[in-house]
Amino acid sequence: MLAIQMQGIVKRFGSLLANDHVHFELAEGEIHALLGENGAGKTTLMRILYGLYRPDEGEIRVKGQSVVIRSPKDAIQAGIGMVTQHFTLVPTLTVAENVVLGGAGALLDPRRMQADVRAASQRYGIPVKPDALVRQLSVGEQQRVEILKALARNARVLILDEPTAVLVPQEVEVLFEALNRLRKEGLSVIFISHKLYEVMAVCDRITVLRDGRLVGTVEKSATNQTDLARMMVGRESFGVARQGERAQGEVLLRIENLSARGKKGLTALDNISLEVQAGEILGIAGVSGNGQSELSQVLEGMLKPSSGKVSVGGKDVTAASPGALAEAGVGRIPEDRHASVVAELSVAENLVLDQLEAFTRGGSLDRAAIRKNAEKLIGEYQIKAGPDDHTRTLSGGNMQKVLLARSLSRSPRVVIAAEPTRGLDVGATDYVRARLLEQRSRGAAVLLISEDLDEILALADRIAVIYEGRIMGVLGARDATVEQLGLMMSGTPLERLAETMEAGHA
């Protein structure tokens, strides 16, 4: 008996085809992995199933019955529950209160609520403390509360969106045990992931998506990590031409034993050491949420590291402010461009915001110079906007060009580019990449952090792979293969690469 059938699902976002006639089937009592790179369309497909998006085409059947799911409410009614990456819990309420939130009955009896939750917790093997406040719980415990919330609403199908992204290894074990218990109870679980070994550890079947299309569904027993990596990335080899050889240069950016904590207080960067030389691009590859954001924030001066050292051209800039970093010759292209320009200020004002002293004459702003600067940069960087336009009105690509113009026009020695082309159209993407290569040939040291492996391969001279805040190893881009990178991105260190690959082929 099939718990869920999704047939011919099409979802478009503007010109982007996020799901292209995808078929997906979920049996009762199975754990089914949905595997793919970022942007492969996994989450989109599941958001459709949970009623967060409406599909443009296609049909959904629950237990063979055709259904229309318009909202999460409909999904819950159809017995589908989803635990998203962004938890929806109220931190100051107890676990039990969170579980019953939105339920029926005018009065609350804490003892009965807690007993109910305790019973469910034991039945499904999901350990929680019913009377604890959610804010006192670890991320793993919070996730369990989310799962219990879905189960309390009688979910028979549970969607988990990258559930292990926020967990420490011990918590992953607990989660996997719970999933096995749910399977025994006859529930079905959809496990969205891009970590190969986890998928192999816990799932019965695996469906792989790539670029919004179905690659295939395979039984776990009929596949291995290497094959899955190939299905996921879909390239047999990387034939991207290097842009000329580069000479050994001076080390301009040096990162030594850097550690930092992320938003939730968890260790996000764990003892990272990297060097970037003049005239090279060092790419940081990795699956989203493995410390890339924190690394870029530390190097942009927006996050203070907990330990370690960062130096630029021999000068110590550890924990320097954003302004001091810019002064030290670091050009910064941030991950979140919308939060990095002042949307309600004009383009001209945003273009000088980081060096106002240089545009001050006799105590007042030199408005003529600011305007001239804007006109020059707008021309040079092909920004489609006037100097007086509010930055809010610009497209993502033009906003990115404003940030590029602001940082690159100061001829930085080190460039930190975090996801520089995310969300941009083809033209803007090519433009940004060309600018980064230009910085390389100019002799700057470029650190390119990108979840887009194609981008890393097209631009980088060397590739460092980051996994759970640690560097798995650094490869010359010329020698890297898909298997190597795929395995490193899912947690295999460079030195153990050979044995893992042998085991995979065996």
Q: Give the C-alpha distances (Å, rounded to integers) separating 364 from 264, 347, 494.
A: 43, 19, 56
Return the number of other C-beta atoms located less than 10 Å from residue 7's C-beta: 15
The site map against another protein for 146-175 (x = CB under 8 A) is ---x--------------------------
Closest CA to 294 of 316, 310, 281: 310
Does 144 bind another protein (CB under 8 A)? Our answer is no
Pairing verdict, β 213-219 and 205-210: antiparallel
Find the binder of another protein among 66, 321, 411, 441 (CB under 8 A).
321
Residue 233 C-beta-side C-alpha neighbours within 13 Å: 27
Minimal distance in Å, beta carbon 370 to another protein?
A: 9
Which helix (H) or strand (E) segment holds residue 376: the answer is helix 367-380
Does 427 bind another protein (CB under 8 A)? Our answer is no
Tokens of 182: 């749910």
Does 88 bind another protein (CB under 8 A)? Our answer is yes
Name which of 117 and 458 has its Cβ closer to another protein: 117
Name which of 181 and 390 has its Cβ closer to another protein: 390
Does 324 bind another protein (CB under 8 A)? Our answer is yes
Find the binder of another protein among 16, 115, 365, 434 (CB under 8 A).
365
Q: Which of residues 280-319 bind another protein (CB under 8 A)?
A: 300-302
Minimal distance in Å, beta carbon 120 to another protein?
A: 17
Spatial separation of the C-alpha atoms in residues 238 and 408, rounded to whole Å: 30
Does 115 bind another protein (CB under 8 A)? Our answer is no
Question: First-to-last CA distance in the chain?
Answer: 34
Residue 270 C-beta-side C-alpha neighbours within 13 Å: 13
Q: Which of residues 462-501 bind another protein (CB under 8 A)?
A: none
The site map against another protein for 181-220 (x = CB under 8 A) is ----------------------------------------
Of 107-115, 252-260, 376-384, 471-479, the segment contacting another protein by CB under 8 A is 107-115
Tokens of 60: 């959904």
Of 166-174, 175-183, 186-194, 354-362, the segment contacting another protein by CB under 8 A is 354-362
DSSP state of 481: -
Torsion of CA 485, 486, 489, 493, to 10 degrees: -60
Spatial separation of the C-alpha atoms in residues 484 and 2, rounded to whole Å: 36
Name which of 202 and 302 has its Cβ closer to another protein: 302
The residue ranges that bind another protein (CB under 8 A) are 72-73, 87-93, 97-98, 100-103, 105-110, 149, 300-302, 321-327, 332, 334, 339-345, 349-350, 353-357, 359-360, 363-365, 367, 406
